[in-house]
Amino acid sequence: MDSEFKRRMSPSLSLVILASLTPLPHKVYIEDENIAPINYNDCPDLVGITVNVDTTSKAIEIARRYRSKGCKVIFGGIHASADSENLIDFCDSICVGEAEEIWQVILNDVLHNNLQKHYCNPRHTNLEYYPLPKWEYINSAKYLYSNIVITSRGCPFRCNFCYNSCDYVKSGYRNRPVKNVIDDIEALKSKQVYFIDDNLIGNLTWFNEFLEQLKDKKLIWHGAVSANISRHKNLIDKMAETGCKSLFIGFESINPNALLKANKSQNVNTEYEELIHYLHEKSIMVNASLVFGFDSDDKTIFNTTLKWLIANKVETMTAHILTPYPGTRLYKQLVEENRIIDFNLNNYNTSNVVFEPKNISADDLRYGYLEMYRKFYSLKNIIKRRPVNRKLILPYFLFNFGYRKFGTVISALGKIGFMKKLGKLGTRLSYGID
């Protein structure tokens, strides 16, 4: 579930963007511990660390080592923004929220030895001036792919378990100008692009215009969308025409009560099957994101969901144990109910039970989650789920066997320097392009 593929999937776009925004005479380099150990023999004027919840302890360790040498350390990223009060003692400064428009302010303050404890962009970043990433800051050969593009910020929905429910998140969904995104795509010089937005279809008018501009690009592309795409078949048609080959969809649960409690109003579980079948007709693979552990879930949810996935021939599945990230509405609710049983943030990676479930024991929830992966990616069920659409057969088997079933073995090749080559081979076999 957590192989080298996941760690070496793609570089941190946020760090590349900040590096791209840093003017001379400043010098920037990016360290990615997913790729290689950190070089601690340096002493930069500023160390910026992007912090995810389950990497908090490592971020604190890195900060301690640099601060002991007199370096200034600033935390940023999604967890640092959501839980800044509990992290401020471990760094010199924290940037809450989007950094682009205040990055120059931070640099100037460092230059004048006036780094503030907190920085927060008082408004949304103006995506009219979103810079094109300078990919020379990273070694793309170390990653499965670096042909990643983001077209938007935010999500129009605020599901209670998602970071978008945090107080620091300002409401609103914004897109980059279509031309700006097209320029970004063309600069990659790649026939395959991964759109890494939270929700690619947050603004349907913008997305429709964007698809019009993609028509003549002859791309292969992949993205993530909300399940309400089921109500927009005309857009699915255009997505297929412009080269969409797979979609990550947050179905979350086939249990309607779970969706209601999660404030997931955009999801209607009765529409799921029709959506999956329609996407398959259009030669688009489905990566179903599912969450287990909602208050209305009991032990039967696993077997029921597994049967549903197999019956609908869902190509890939990403499972999660419901996790109350600090700062989210769910976290606040469970704290008030005294149901958090594990405060070790290393375990907040959606693979561990850190709260007391209502209708299932913590042990049964963890066991059921592990069994979902084992059974879904068993040889028997891989064969059962094989696509009817022949265009999906090869990428389906490559993903299920290469990335999942034998992911650990294949990942060993990636670890010794073949990650990029593996990605290119998979693309060539799946879609006939380099």
Q: Check: CATH 3.40.50.1110 for 147-385? A: no
Q: Are 341 and 363 in contact (CB under 8 A)?
A: no
Burial class (CB in 10 A: 0-12, 13-18, 19+), 369: buried
Instruction: Tell me which residue of 38, 61, 66, 39 sits closest to 51, measured CA to CA.
Output: 61
Q: What is the mean pLDDT of the chain?
A: 90
Contacts of 162 (CB under 8 A, 6+ apart): 155, 328
Model confidence band, residue 229 (pLDDT cutoffs 50, 70, 90):
very high
Residue 427: per-residue pLDDT: 85
Question: Degrees (nearest 5) of the Cα angle 82, 140, 240?
Answer: 80
Tokens for 398? 């490559």
CATH of domain 22-120: 3.40.50.280
| Side chain identity, residue 420 | K
Q: How far is 233 from 239, CA to CA, in rounded Å? A: 10
Query: Which residue reads 């699915």 in tokens?
Result: 236
Rounded-to-integer distance, Cα 201 and Cα 199, Å: 6
Residue 412, pLDDT score: 74
Average pLDDT over residues 266-280: 81
For 2-11, give one letter per residue: b (16+ CB within 10 A) or e. Answer: ebbbebbbbb
For residues 137 and 135, what is the distance between their CA atoms, to the nearest angstrom?
A: 5
User: pLDDT band at residue 123, thresholds of 50, 70 and 90?
Assistant: low
Residue 422 pLDDT greater than 90, yes or no: no
Work out the percent of the chain whose per-residue pLDDT is above 90: 70
The pairing of beta strand 316-321 with beta strand 192-195 = unpaired
Q: What band does 163 get if pLDDT is binned at 50, 70 and 90?
A: confident
Which of the four pLDDT bands, split at 50, 70 and 90, describes residue 318?
Answer: very high
Q: Is the pLDDT of residue 266 over 60?
A: no
Question: Residue 430: what pLDDT?
Answer: 87
**Lowest mean pLDDT, pick from 103-112, 116-125, 202-211:** 116-125
**For residue range 87-101, what is the model confidence (pLDDT) as tens digits?**
999 999 999 988 988
At 320-332, the pLDDT tens digits run 999 999 999 999 9
What is the tens place of the pLDDT at every residue in 33-80? 988 899 999 999 999 999 999 999 999 999 999 999 999 999 999 999
Domain spans, the chain = 22-120, 147-385
245-259, 304-318, 373-387, 417-431, range with the lowest pLDDT: 417-431
β-bridge mates for residue 192, sequence order: 220
Statement: residue 2 has pLDDT above 60: no
- The length of the chain is 434
Helix (H/G/I), strand (E/B), else coil: 88: helix
